[in-house]
A = this chain, B = another copy of it.
Amino acid sequence: MQYVAVDGYGGDKAPYEIVKGVEQALESISDLFIYLTGYKKELEKLVKDFPKNLRERLEIVNATEVIRMSEKPSQALRLKNSSMALGIVLVKQGKADAFVTAGNSGAAMALAMFTLGRTKGISRPAIATLLPTLDGQMLMLDVGANVDCKPQHMLEFSIMGAVYIKYVVGVKNPKIAILNNGSEPGKGNQLAIASYDLLHKSKLNFIGNIEGDEIYRGKADVVVCDGFVGNVVLKVSESIPDVIAEFLREEIKKSFWYKIGFLLAKPAFGVLKTKTDYSEFGGAPLLGIRGACIISHGRSNANAIKNAIFKALKFSKEKVNDKIEKTVKNCAVLNQLKGAVRP
């Protein structure tokens, strides 16, 4: 049996869509057991109509509080009976192999770090996210856990990203790039320049710097940046299609023929939904944490939760953490820095 703890009260559509996602996952995988955390009474009502063969592979773990999306990580740490904290504790206890939440990612990172600790050899765990490219997908990290970084952290992100996309997503020999304001070596801020040197010396498949306009063209499989830049890029990227749609919507109203044309072509726009549908990407892993934790998008629907559970299982099954630990241990460049900055 494989065990996953799921935060029943994480995200905008909790608990209804979370429960539905859990049901779909249980249907798809016959040896899956789910611990669902949250307000037990309410959750019981939602699962009471589950078929018996699903219900018997589900345990509800009662929580007395919920971490809000606006909660500060430092505050969240005190909410020890929250649906999120209890899910992570289940991983710590070895009852669950992995944890999934669509809740507050900063809080999840803080709780996971505090409860599970860091992967050996990693000084800065990171949040990574899969994003669509013209011909597939790529992993960007960090997207918010570490706003001020040192070159060493960028090297750690690169190693973790490479291991994750290789074993969980299945990209062979992933190409790693530093997000930069210029493509030539020597370009960038102090962090990018020093990180370039480290990555260049490492044995990773480092392809150099890429600029902002190259991210979505699929030039690299892993795009490395500090969490400040990553977070801003992620949010800018998510907002632009919406802004474009609003511009278009206003314009299409202006003519009958535009409306007809748009109705005819509308299904084609579905491709954008599919390509940018976070629910298909299966969530953002916390990398560098001693445990498999996946943060699903705050707007997660059932499908997103189901896919996040799949990714969490793969994360656990592939022993991503062991592989990161091993790669870090064998990384001469990182070992040389040990004395200087590493914990």
Contact = CB atoms under 8 A, between A and B. Distances in A.
Contacts of A248: 268-269, 271-272
A179 interface: yes
A127 B215 CA distance: 23
Interface in A133-171: 134, 144, 147-148
Contact of A232 (B134, B211, B243): B211
Contact of A240 (B190, B241, B250, B267): B241
Contacts of A227: 181
Contacts of A237: 212, 236, 240
Contact of A258 (B214, B255, B268): B268
Contacts of A263: 261
Nearest to A186: B72
A71 to B, nearest CB: 11
A207 interface: no
A197 interface: no
Interface range, A side: 35 or more
Contacts of A257: 264-265
Is the contact region of chain A dominated by helix, strand, or loop, or is it mixed? helix
Candidate in A148, A234, A244 with the most chain B CB atoms within 10 angstroms: A244
Interface string A172-207: 000000011100000011101000000000000000
A134 B265 contact: no
A258 B226 CA distance: 41
Nearest to A179: B232
A286 B255 CA distance: 41
A231 interface: yes
22 contacts: A148-B190, A179-B232, A211-B231, A211-B232, A213-B235, A215-B239, A216-B239, A216-B240, A216-B243, A217-B243, A233-B236, A236-B236, A241-B244, A247-B275, A248-B272, A251-B269, A251-B270, A252-B265, A257-B265, A258-B264, A261-B263, A262-B268
